[in-house]
Amino acid sequence: MGRLQTFDSTTVVQSARDVFWDLGYDGASLADLEAATGVNRSSLYHAFGSKRGLFDAAVADYRDTVIRPRLRGLQADGAGRPELIAYFDELREAVGRLPLDSPRRGCLLVNCATGLASHDEPAREVVEAYRTDLASALRHALAGAALAAADDRSDRTDERVRTLASLSMSAMLLARVNAAESAALLTTAADQVRAWFPAPPPATR
């Protein structure tokens, strides 16, 4: 039928995603996106329609390749105390591992919350969906942990979900401002989980 696309859409979207992650939607210029992807703007427009179209593709990729794997442990059947602790430990490790000038510091969607999402309804909905997903995953694992521990404070579940979601989001918010404090917030979250649910006896065989 005609000439085939010479670039790989996935890698282009991921390169663009990192630019948006770093600079935000408004802050990322077409020149930045051309440089990062190695693709001319006319080809980007041909493939994605507009800057916004490319951004939407980048957000979709972010949800699929960054957020979803992170929450998977919490969402698994039988998830509970260990999965909660692992979630916060892994997130803290990721925050600490990145160099201070990494474009990937923080969370693309948390960054959107005070940017695009303030005055753009579709963007607001994406951020809200992220928050809901996070809260649901935490709630699921908290319920599992309470069940395993025969915890009698399940009336506190809403409080605990909000506390842990809060610590996660604040840590992402602070990732570029104070990386040490960002990590400390995630440590605090894991410590809270440990305090709420008694440590199980060490496994024997």
Q: Which residues bind a copy of itself (CB under 8 A)?
A: 22-24, 26-27, 105-106, 110-111, 113-115, 117-119, 124, 127-128, 131, 158-159, 162-163, 165-167, 169-170, 173-174, 176-178, 181, 184-185, 188, 191-192
Per-residue DSSP letters for 168-185?
Answer: HHHHHHHTTT-HHHHHHH
What does 73 interact with, of DNA, a copy of itself, none (CB < 5 to 8 A by kind)? Answer: none
**In this structure, are residues 132 and 75 in contact, taking their beta carbons and an 8 Å threshold?**
no
**Which residues in 27-56 contact DNA (CB under 7 A)?**
28-32, 39-43, 45-47, 50-52
Residue 68, amino acid: R
Q: Which does 74 bind (CB under 5 to 8 A by kind): DNA, a copy of itself, none?
A: none
Q: Cα–Cα distances in Å, from 82 out to 8, 41, 163, 195? A: 38, 47, 18, 13
How many residues of this chain interact with DNA, rule: CB under 7 A? 24
CB closer to DNA, 28 vs 179: 28
Task: Compute CA 21 distance to the chain's CA centroid, rounded to the nearest angstrom.
Answer: 11
Hunting for tokens 């698994």 — which residue is that? 76
| 8 vs 152, beta carbon nearer DNA | 8
